[in-house]
Amino acid sequence: MSVQERKQRERAGRERLIVATARELAEQQGWDAVTTRRLAERIEYSQPVLYSHFRGKREIIGAVALEGATELAAAVRAATAAADGPRARVAALARAYLDFAARNSAVYDALFQLDGGLAYAQEDTPEPLKDAFAALLESLGEVAGDGVHPGLFTETFWAALHGLATLTRAGRLPPEDAERRMELLVDRLAMV
């Protein structure tokens, strides 16, 4: 292995460490607790080293969001692959999405609440974000209905899921009715 390859591997390892540490800190204490100073202390590197990887917290949030998008896509695909029939796939998708949001609150916030400097729904949208949407579209497109654009239907269903996830996490909706809400969304909006 050449010196350059070793340095690239070490750099990639530091970058993964920064992202993992930021994510861990955000999950434990919230995104306000994630500062470049704290991250530098936790990873035991100087702030200039951290800044050589990311220009600041915004880029770190973006890196966490991209990682989270990949994980969300994988969770949705795994859940829907095990389901039999359109209704079961849509229900599995909804459950996987809401479970992901509940289990990964800081990542979910990085994806959909915070400014990570990422473009959404544009030509320059990063591939992991496009793939996360594609994972939703794969199951929702088949139940969009006649005359309904599958992408538009997926956006609408996703918006409803996001609303449920966000309002539930904020304590605005009683948790005991979460399953009934999800079933209502699947039965009435997807009409499967």
Task: Label residue 190 by pLDDT band (50, 70, 90).
Answer: confident
Report the chain's terminal Cα–Cα distance, integer Å: 56
Say if residue 1's pLDDT is above 80.
Answer: no
Measured distance CA(120)–CA(117) in Å, rounded: 10
Q: What are the tens digits of pLDDT across the range 109-165?
A: 999 999 999 999 999 999 999 999 999 999 999 999 999 999 999 999 999 999 999
What pLDDT shows up at residue 51? Answer: 93
**Between vectors from CA 184 to CA 179 and to CA 187, what angle results, nearest 5°?**
125
What pLDDT shows up at residue 192? Answer: 64
Task: Label residue 25 by pLDDT band (50, 70, 90).
Answer: very high
> What's the count of helices (H) and strands (E) in the chain, helices before strands?
9, 0
Q: What are the tens digits of pLDDT across the range 40-83?
A: 999 999 999 999 999 999 999 999 999 999 999 999 999 999 99
Is 71:131 a contact under the CB 8 Å cutoff? no
pTM above 0.85, yes or no: yes
Q: What are the tens digits of pLDDT across the range 95-108?
A: 999 999 999 999 99
Is 111:61 a contact under the CB 8 Å cutoff? no
